[in-house]
Structure 1
Amino acid sequence: MTRIIAGEFRGRRLGVPAESTRPTSDRVREAVFSMLGARADLDGLRVLDLYAGTGALGIEAVSRGAASAVLVEADRRAARVVRDNVAICRAGNRVRVVDRTVESFLTAGAGPFDLVFIDPPYDLSSDDVAAILALVLPALTDGAWVVVERGSRSVAVDLPDGLEAVADKKYGDSRVQLAHRVDSPS
């Protein structure tokens, strides 16, 4: 069972697509928001949740005070579940679901965002995730935060210039990298 952990929607149970996604566990989600909370104030942030799956990360951010979230999910069945989860939380006025590939969404000029979650399928290569990070970079505000969740056996993703590694932690079968948007060297 996936549920919202804290904030306005605390305790709401979220649906999970049958076989097409691997939802971030409540334990990992709590650890991610603890990492963020120690470094940033979520109030008023614009959030992007890529490979949304259930939408739990983006919805949790809004529950904890983010102003808005865009949840991108290419799998139509999963996108339908994400829409249902947004409705369960009555968050439709602050959360938008986009059923499109991450690459097509980002190349269309998305942004600006203050916080981005990237939780791709664990079998996506580190090089592919690095390419997504390069596409995300122009959509970030100064000082934005990026959270990348991968399998615990994955190698750390190489960050593009303009992103600085802040934390790299393992929680069970998940590895979470936290990065911060910085000015790239001139």
Structure 2
Amino acid sequence: MRIITGSARGCRLKTPKGQDTRPTADRVKESLFNILGSLVAGRHVLDIFAGTGNLGLEALSRGASKAVFVDQATAPLIRENAIHTKFLPASEIHGGDVFASLARLAAAHRSFDLVFCDPPYHKGLWQRALQVFDTTELLAHDGILVVEHGADESELPPLSGLVCVENRRYGHTTQLSFFQWRSYVEEDDA
């Protein structure tokens, strides 16, 4: 696994040893960042269920200003990868439960322009995370929440503010769903 482009292009990231991990494939990551394009530069990023820090570090390499990483099992590994890519000064790394961390970030009135949510598939975690974002102000008004989930996981939880603005499938295993605030999408359409 490597950083695809930007200031850390080609840097290889360390991956957890002995864990059954499913990092975002380079082709899916490249497609994701092609879709986002110029929407990455200067943004505050939140990468939850961050694993290696792959998505947040790629965003930093492409010009994001700051990234907050949250993962219970791999916080030390994310720190190593942030040091290796020279993005530690722009990184804030949280270990511990993702949902407890989200509650703390919301209580501190933190807001993010770009959120990556890449939890283990088939555990209901992405749906639960969507509901957290739908009921807090963690996602900025013009922000984008990107969820990576299984190709066979399409049932959305009840949402009052967020809407899916785009969905892409990658083979028989993965899909990316992009969410924004309904109020922002309606403003943009007017």
Structure 1 SS opposite 2:30: helix
Q: Write the distance in 1 (CA, Å) between the matches of 2:97 and 2:45.
A: 17
Q: Does 1:6 align with 2:5?
A: yes
Structure 1, residues 57-79: CA drift from partner, whole Å, max 9, x if none? 0000111011000010001xx22
Give the deviation of 1:129 after TM superposition: 2.4
Q: Write the distance in 2 (CA, Å) between the matches of 1:51 and 1:113.
A: 16
Residue identity matched to 2:36: L
Structure 1, residues 24-79: CA drift from partner, whole Å, max 9, x if none? 01111011111111xx521210000000001000000111011000010001xx22
Q: Does 1:123 align with 2:122?
A: yes
Q: Write the distance in 2 (CA, Å) between the matches of 1:21 and 1:51.
A: 11
Q: Does 1:179 align with 2:179?
A: yes
Q: Write the distance in 1 (CA, Å) between the matches of 2:129 and 2:157.
A: 11
Q: Write the distance in 2 (CA, Å) between the matches of 1:159 and 1:174.
A: 22
**Could you state the TM-score of these two structures normalised by the residue count of structure 1?**
0.89
Return structure 1 stretches of 4+ with deviation > 6 angstroms: none
Q: Does 1:135 align with 2:145?
A: no
Q: Write the distance in 1 (CA, Å) between the matches of 2:157 and 2:32.
A: 20
Maintained 8 Å contact 1:130/1:160: no
* 1:65-144 equivalence runs, <5 A: 65-75=63-73, 78-110=74-106, 111-125=110-124, 128-137=125-134, 138=136, 139-144=138-143
Structure 1, residues 72-118: CA drift from partner, whole Å, max 9, x if none? 0001xx22211111011011110111102111011113421000000
CA RMSD of aligned residues (A): 1.7
Q: Write the distance in 2 (CA, Å) between the matches of 1:108 and 1:44.
A: 24
**Could you state the TM-score of these two structures normalised by the residue count of structure 2?**
0.87
Q: Indicate the structure with greater helix content.
A: 2
Residue 48 and residue 36 in structure 1: after superposition, are their counterparts in 2 closer, same or farther (change >3 A)?
same
Number of corresponding residues = 178
Q: Write the distance in 2 (CA, Å) between the matches of 1:86 and 1:101.
A: 20
Q: Name structure 1 gaps, 5 residues minimum.
A: none
Q: Name structure 2 gaps, 5 residues minimum.
A: none
* 1:147-158 equivalence runs, <5 A: 147-158=146-157
Q: Write the distance in 1 (CA, Å) between the matches of 2:98 and 2:133.
A: 10
